[in-house]
Amino acid sequence: MADKKATLHIEGKAPIELPIIEGSEGQDVIDVRKLGASGFFTFDPGFLATASCESQITYIDGDKGILLHRGFPIDQLANNADYLEVCYVLLYGEVPTRAEYEQFRTTVTRHTMVHEQIASFFHGFRRDAHPMAIMCGVVGALSAFYHDSLDINNDLHREITAFRLLSKMPTLAAMCHKYTTGQPFIYPRNDLDYAENFLHMMFATPCEEYEVSPIVSRAMDKIFTLHADHEQNASTSTVRLAGSSGANPFACIAAGIASLWGPAHGGANEACLKMLEEIGCVENIPEFIERAKDKDDPFHLMGFGHRVYKNYDPRATVMREACHEVLDELKIDNPLLDVAMELERIALSDEYFVSKKLYPNVDFYSGIILKAIGIPVSMFTVIFAMSRVIGWIAHWNEMHSDPTNRIGRPRQLYTGYSQREFKPLHERE
Ligand code: CMC
């Protein structure tokens, strides 16, 4: 850490010296922690220029289109490792040996069943509930089921919680789907890998086994990998903030799921497919492109643009390849997919989108793949949530491993009334 300083000059005040902290990559940060004592806070709604924590898990350079997990580029991970290996890297910081990988895989596989009582919990929901609504509820409810290892200051307890979440999320996600479609829950199978098992729990029925196509399971695994972590986005920051008070980890993950649900974040994949349905056919695209450009129209092209990537989303590069591979190999004839491909072509060449650097993001392509392999649209964000759980738990774990961690408590710029007198109701009449 170099001894650099930034000096803040405020009219009528003595200059304030603030330390600059250097990261191993990317922008350095001005440490404003002591600023409060000088009578000022910083103002940064939407965290456009604020680092909320120190982290060693994921690095993004949005201008260059770089995404590294523990130093490894996302395309190398997505093309050479499976999701569970990436989970290991995110959680432990290093690549596993073969033995470590096998052990990790076995532990995850052996803990995929959920407490039988959880099945009854599902029955409290209406069948027409959105699967994300059910997911928020049941993941939060895990806090009422697994309370034997909840000492957040205990490394082993935190590891057990990570395993529980990673193992049980696909089971719960598939149960959400089965519940909303009225089919019986399907138990996990230990002979299948992570992606295959998820597809089995989604699509098998007691009357008929589901034969998992290797193309589909490979694409599914890639979707999991490319959504595994993305540093301090809205949902991860939510998990950290909720966890900073020492709250139950399952409840914190439920908070992350709630944050992910919004269409500006993880809900974009579902919103994107709904938009494609609304567009309907290739001939209608120009009209929607014009609407997206119109400042007075709130319509946005869903699946395009990103807060951080102002070049190209590197996850989208990998996902685009997987998307074209799946569409070619499965030879699916669906007019929506034609709309998607034409929209991609137009947006990549249209001056408005090119100049604003609004490229298709990972959720544009993952939505198309999920649609092509028969996943219901309402399950798209649930799949994002189950893939992201490893990122959330790795960040939660990192935060609690740091003895200097303090409860998160932002400040505000107050613009409401100054103090005024309250008159009781009878005096106001
Ligand atoms: N369609 C049309 N115009 C857009 C779009 C879009 N999808 N996204 C941004 N713009 C315009 C925006 O109107 C603004 O224009 P101007 O400079 O004239 O005011 C400019 O581009 C800059 O956008 P911004 O709103 O300042 O960017 P932001 O960083 O606040 O928002 C975003 C990023 C992802 C919320 C936004 O691009 C968006 O709403 N995209 C669609 C939703 C989406 O696909 N979200 C998934 C992101 S990837 C998954 C994840 O990591 O969560």
C-alpha to C-alpha distances, 393 to 20, 113, 231, 232, 252, nearest whole angstrom:
29, 19, 12, 13, 9
Average pLDDT over residues 388-406: 95
264 in ligand 1 pocket by Cβ < 6 Å?
Answer: yes
Average pLDDT, the chain: 93
Instruction: Check 306, 313, 395, 400 and give the catalytic one.
Output: 306
Ligand 1 center–CA 419 separation, angstroms: 39
What is the 36 CA–ligand 1 centroid distance (Å)?
Answer: 32
Give Rg (Cα) of the chain. 23
Residue 358 in contact with ligand 1 by CB distance below 6 A: yes
Cβ of 360 below 6 Å from ligand 1? no
List of long-range contacts for 187-195, beta carbons under 8 Å, 24+ apart: 187/113, 188/112, 188/113, 190/109, 190/110, 190/112, 193/82, 193/84, 193/217, 193/221, 194/82, 194/83, 194/84, 194/105, 194/108, 194/109, 194/170, 194/221, 194/224, 195/82, 195/83, 195/220, 195/221, 195/224
* pLDDT classification of 2: cutoffs 50, 70, 90: low
Among the residue ranges 16-30, 200-214, 309-323, the one predicted with the least confidence is 309-323
Residue nearest to atom 19 of ligand 1 (CA): 295
Q: Which atom of ligand 1 is nearest to the CA of 304?
A: 7
Cβ of 391 below 6 Å from ligand 1: no
pLDDT value of residue 268? 87
Give yes or no: 306 in active site: yes
Q: Which residue is closest in CA terms to ligand 1's atom 9? A: 305
**pLDDT tens figures, 32-64:** 999 988 889 999 999 999 999 999 999 999 888
For the segment 111-138, the average pLDDT, to the nearest whole number, is 95
DSSP per residue over 141-153, as a string? HGGGT--SS--TT
Q: Which of 270, 351, 358, 368 to mutate to test the pocket of ligand 1 (most atoms within 8 A of CB)?
A: 358
> Does ligand 1 come within 6 angstroms of the Cβ of 304?
yes
- pLDDT band, residue 317 (cuts 50/70/90): confident
pLDDT at 51: 95
Q: What is the pLDDT of residues 165-193, one digit of tens each?
A: 999 999 999 999 999 999 999 999 999 99
The per-residue pLDDT for 340 is: 86
Closest ligand 1 atom to residue 260 Cα is 52
Q: Is the CB of 356 inside a 6 Å radius of any atom of ligand 1?
A: yes
- Per the annotation, the verdict on 130 as an active-site residue is no
Question: In terms of DSSP H, where are the helices of 27-112?
Answer: 74-80, 83-92, 98-109
303 CB near ligand 1 (under 6 Å): yes
Average pLDDT over residues 367-390: 94
**Does the Cβ of 400 fall within 6 Å of ligand 1?**
no
pTM of the model: 0.91
The Å distance, Cα 290 to ligand 1 centre, comes to 16
Measured in Å, residue 307 CA sits from the centre of ligand 1 at: 7
Q: Whose CA is nearest to atom 22 of ligand 1?
A: 356
